[in-house]
Structure 1
C-alpha cells in the first residue's frame, strides 16, 4: 500500500483514538477533558475526507473506517455523556423513583436505575444513522438528518455549560431528568430525520453558490464568541433552520 493512500486512514484512526480516550474520561466523570478529545476527534474526522479528496486516494476501506471511528467518537461518547447526566440528575434531585415507572430495581443485591440507560438511545440512533449514510449514495452534497459529529457537540455542550457557565437556572434546567429525556428524544429523531441539511463542503470559495455556508459560519462564530458553550445548541438550531430555508427557497 502506498503511504499516500494510508494518510487519510491514519487521520481517521486518530479520530478513533481520541474517541476511545474520551470514553475513558466520561466514565470517570472528566467531562471537560473528554470534550477536548471529542473536539480533536471531530477535527480529524473533518480532515480525513478532505485529505482523501485532495490526495485522490478515496476508497471503500476509508469510508467504512470513517464510520467506525465516528461511531465511537460521535456515537458512543454522547450516549455515555447523556447516561452520566441522567444518572446525576436522577440522583442529585432525590427523585422518588419507587413511585414512578422507572423505579429502582435490585439484581443480586445491586441497585439498578434504568432511567440513565435512555441516554444510550443516542448511541443506537447514531449507529443506525451511520449505517444508512453508508448505503445512501445521494448524500454527497447534503446530509439527510443531523450528522453524528454535530449531534455529539450538541450533547457535549450540556456538561460544558454546567462547568463553565454555572448559574442556578441553567443548572436546574440541564439537571432536570425530563429535560434530558426530551433532549435525548429530539437527538434520536434528528439523527434519522428526513430533513436535508447542507454539508460544509466547498467546491468553490465564491460567495454566491456558498452563501448559506458563509452566513452560517459567520453567525456561528458570533454566537460562540458571545455565548460561549451555551451557543452550541443555538448553532445547531441555526444549522437546521438555514438548511430548511435553503431547501425551500
Structure 2
C-alpha cells in the first residue's frame, strides 16, 4: 500500500523532469525534442491524477506537486519558447522586422514572451483554490496552451504551409498570440475537462470523440492541427455551454 501511495507522485516528478529536459533542448536549439518532452510531460500529467484516483491515494501533496510540475513543463517552457522565437527574429539578418534597441527599444519585445509564464502561474494557483473546476475547467488549461506555443516552431520549420510560416515569423502576430494566451488562460470561460477519470462511453463520449478526432486531424495536417484542435476545443465548449443552458 505504501508503494501505491508514492507511484502517482513519482509520475508527477517525471512530468517535472520532462519539463527540465525541454528547457535544455530549447537552449540547444532542438525545438522538436522540446516539443516531444512537453508532450511526454503532459502524458505523465494525465496518468498521475488517474492513478491517484485509481489507487485512492489523492491528497494535498499530490495537488501541490502537480501544479509545481505543470508550472515548469506548461508555464516556464512555453514562455521560454516564445522568448526564443522572438529572439530568432531579432537575430535574423534577413528579417524585415527590427527588434533591436536601435529601434525604439524593441529589443525588449522577446521578454514579453514570459507573460505566458506569468499567466500560467496565476492560472495554476487559481485552479488549486477554485472549487468550480473539479469536473471541468474555467479558462484554457496550461497543457493545452503549452501545446499551442510549442507547435509554433514545429510549423515554422516543417514549412508545409508557406503562407502560415510567414505569419508565424511576424513578431506582431506572435505578440498577439502571447496576449491571447495570457487572456484565455484566465478567462471566465467554462471548458469541458479532457481528463477521463473512468473509461465509460456514456459519461465521456464527447471527450473520447474529441480525442479521436484530434488524433485523426493531427495525422492529416501535422503540427498545423494543434492550434486548430485547441480552437475547436474552445468553440465546442462554448456550444456545449449554450446547449446546456437551453436544456
TM-score (norm 2): 0.91
Q: Which runs of 5+ in 1 are unaligned?
A: 104-112
Deviation of the 1:101 alpha carbon: 4.0
User: Which residue matches 1:123?
Assistant: 117
User: Which residue matches 1:108?
Assistant: none
Q: Which runs of 5+ in 2 are unaligned?
A: none
Distance 1:180 1:148, change over 3 A: same
| Separation (CA, whole Å) in 1 of partners of 2:25 and 2:143 | 18
Aligned to 1:146, the other structure's residue is in SS state coil
Aligned to 2:137, the other structure's residue is in SS state strand
User: Which residue matches 2:70?
Assistant: 70
Q: Please say which of residues 206-215 and 11-20 is displaced more in the overlay.
A: 206-215
Deviation of the 1:189 alpha carbon: 0.6
Distance 1:121 1:89, change over 3 A: same
Aligned to 2:13, the other structure's residue is in SS state helix
Deviation of the 1:165 alpha carbon: 3.4
User: Which residue matches 2:173?
Assistant: 179
Equivalent of residue 161 in structure 1, options 148, 155, 165: 155
User: Which residue matches 2:223?
Assistant: 229
The root-mean-square deviation of aligned C-alpha atoms, in Å, is 1.7
Q: Please say which of residues 88-97 and 45-54 is displaced more in the overlay.
A: 88-97
User: Which residue matches 1:95?
Assistant: 97
Contact 1:216 1:238 in 2 (8 A): no
1:24 to 2:17 alignment:
no
User: Which residue matches 1:188?
Assistant: 182
CA deviations 1:130-178 (Å, max 9, x no partner) are: 0000011120110010000000000000011122235532221111101
Equivalent pairs counted in the alignment come to: 240
User: Which residue matches 1:2?
Assistant: 2
Deviation of the 1:210 alpha carbon: 2.8
TM-score (norm 1): 0.91
User: Which residue matches 1:147?
Assistant: 141
